[in-house]
Amino acid sequence: MGIRWSPAGVLAVMCVAFLGFYLMRETLWPLLPFSSPGPHQHSPRVSVAAVLCAAVVAAQRGGVEVRRVHEAQQLNAKNKGGNTQTRNPVTDGDLRSHFAMARTLQLAFGGGLRVVSEEHGAVEGQGEGAFPNVVVGTVDNVCPEEISSNSAANTRFVDLRELQVWIDPLDATQEYTESLLHYVTTMVGIAHKGKAIAGVIHKPFEEDPAQRTYWAWTDVAVSGNLEEVLSRDRAAAGDTSRPHKLIVSRSHTGDVEEVARVAFQGRPMEVELAGGAGYKTLQVILGRASLYLHTTLIKKWDLGAPNGLLTALGGRLTTVQGRDVDYAAPRSDADVVSHGGVVAALDGHAHYLDVLAALHPTSKAPRVDS
């Protein structure tokens, strides 16, 4: 004869079970699959190497979607927020790349990893059905050789709650809509306690596979295509006999060209206009530009990966005033904005700050660049 449960009996059992779980939450919560740390538990430890490996895969998967949408000529470009005064496009390439990158990281760490993406709000609440054929599988056993074979990499564990990941699923969207594809990148920045420690910049339209994905992790490892940077005899930026090549935004120029020409007056200098923070940073890293300069506000997902790469390679990225960017988890929309512009250099960063400090530019209401 089967047991017959009354409604009161079912409720009583449920209450006892809930009370038991609540009292043992410190022990049971971390054992649940895909659990994130609750407010009263210690954060689980996570391998930074595992996070970086997943970040590399995420950037590459995002790149697949960016390229697929463009090749199909189905960009479906719109202006964000319906603002017709400022050109700030978003495309299906942005959205599909976001979904691939964010889901890859979520699946790898069960939602416990804190991720901020430029396009989070645009796809919030949409399931996988909204993005057919987007690759979001596991990242098991997918890791660059430079990480998997590095003994130091396998000893770096931190509290999961101390990490913050910033992703830009399609950097240089404006140039993407204009088919200026060499500017386009997908990016993942990794921060620990608010400081950039690693970054991934992937170029989806680069035909040479060896030059397609760049990554670096401070004090641990860099991608094979960046080994030469570490061994390069890097000239001091303070050598005024050497021409300074500045790289600045082509779509969010602001007063940066004026600032540069006044600051470097009397010194040999050239200015390159380019799209995308990722592209401009790589130009600096690869020795094709000496300084990436930006004078308007900028979002932190544009800077997380560049900052991680430059720091790992011995360079530096700060505001024009020399302040480091704080990549801690944002508490409001205002926290995703970095104030004070950008000064990014592989060498001679302090020299550039000194040159710029001599300026007293006119005060203008800043405009936020995405």
pLDDT for residue 154 = 87
Residues 94 and 151 in one domain: yes
pLDDT for residue 9 = 64
pLDDT for residue 268 = 81
Domain-embedded: residue 354:
yes
| Of 174, 192, 225, the domain-final residue | 225
**Tokens 């500045």, residue located:** 246
What's the CA gap between 313 and 215, in Å, rounded? 10
Residues 250 and 162 in one domain: no
Residues with Cβ within 8 Å of residue 364, at least 6 apart in sequence: 255
Identify the domain containing residue 247 by its residue range: 231-369
Residues 195 and 59 in one domain: yes
Residues 216 and 304 in one domain: no
Residues 103 and 215 in one domain: yes
| Of 177, 207, 225, the domain-final residue | 225
pLDDT for residue 82 = 53
Residues 143 and 220 in one domain: yes
Residues 162 and 288 in one domain: no
- pLDDT tens, position by position, 31-74: 333 333 444 456 699 999 999 999 999 999 999 999 999 999 99
CATH classification at residue 176: 3.30.540.10
How far from 356 is each of 182, 247, 280, 321, 353, CA to CA, in Å? 30, 15, 19, 8, 5
**What tokens does 335 get?**
């926290």
pLDDT for residue 363 = 38
Residues 60 and 201 in one domain: yes
| Of 225, 244, 261, the domain-final residue | 225
Domain-embedded: residue 23:
no
User: How many alpha carbons lie under 13 Å from residue 234 in its C-beta half-sphere?
Assistant: 22
pLDDT for residue 124 = 57
Domain-embedded: residue 197:
yes
Residues in the chain where the model's pLDDT stays below 70:
1-5, 7-10, 12-13, 15-43, 81-86, 121-129, 234-241, 252-254, 360-370
Residues 184 and 117 in one domain: yes
Domain-embedded: residue 284:
yes
How far from 81 is each of 89, 93, 199, 278, 299, CA to CA, in Å? 9, 17, 29, 24, 16
Domain-embedded: residue 2:
no
Q: Give pTM, 2 decimals.
A: 0.84
pLDDT for residue 132 = 76
CATH classification at residue 318: 3.40.190.80
What's the CA gap between 70 and 334, in Å, rounded? 32
